[in-house]
Amino acid sequence: MKVLLGIGGTDGSVDALDRTVARAAEAGDELTVAIVESEGTDVGREELAERVESAVADTDLSVEVRHVEGEPGSRLVEIAETEGFDEIVLGGGTTSPMGKISLNQIAEFVLLNSHVTVTLVR
């Protein structure tokens, strides 16, 4: 399966990275990591690229890392749909005490606009 993981430096993104790398290694998926600009984080793109390399170091995965410019949600959807990805994976989302999920702007856009399967790692 061809998987596109969008990360932006939030804790949810880092969790999604670890879980997606483990799953891709186990399933033999083709993984591409798209590093996007994310508000509310001080983690830079180069640090994120290093985290990706560290996460895949003990696996047989060959991961493509891309630095994506522009509006993150629409760019992720565009890349996934034009390049034949089977799935978009994103981190994020919290659950309120009432059980409602709260999504960040990127996750909400991708979930509402993608024709490709979207997996949200929480």
Q: Mind listing the pLDDT tens digit for each residue in 44-53?
A: 889 999 999 9
Residue 11 pLDDT: 83
Number of domains in the chain: 1
Q: Are 6 and 36 in contact (CB under 8 A)?
A: yes
Q: Mind listing the pLDDT tens digit for each residue in 21-43?
A: 999 999 999 999 999 987 767 78
Q: Max CA-CA distance within the chain?
A: 42
Q: Any idea what the CATH number is for the domain that residue 73 is in?
A: 3.40.50.620
Mean pLDDT, residues 68-89? 98
Mean pLDDT, residues 58-74? 95
- Radius of gyration of the chain, Cα coordinates, nearest whole angstrom: 14
Q: Give the integer Cα–Cα distance in Å for 9 and 57.
A: 19
* Cα separations in angstroms, 77 against 27, 32, 46: 23, 14, 23
Highest mean pLDDT among 7-21, 64-78, 96-110 belongs to 64-78
What residue ranges in the chain does DSSP mark as E strands? Answer: 2-7, 30-35, 64-67, 87-91, 94-95, 101-102, 117-121
Identify the domain containing residue 25 by its residue range.
2-121
Q: Are 89 and 3 in contact (CB under 8 A)?
A: yes
SS3 at position 118 = strand
CB within 8 A of 48, min separation 6: which ones? 7, 8, 9, 13, 35
When comparing pLDDT for 101 and 63, which is higher?
63
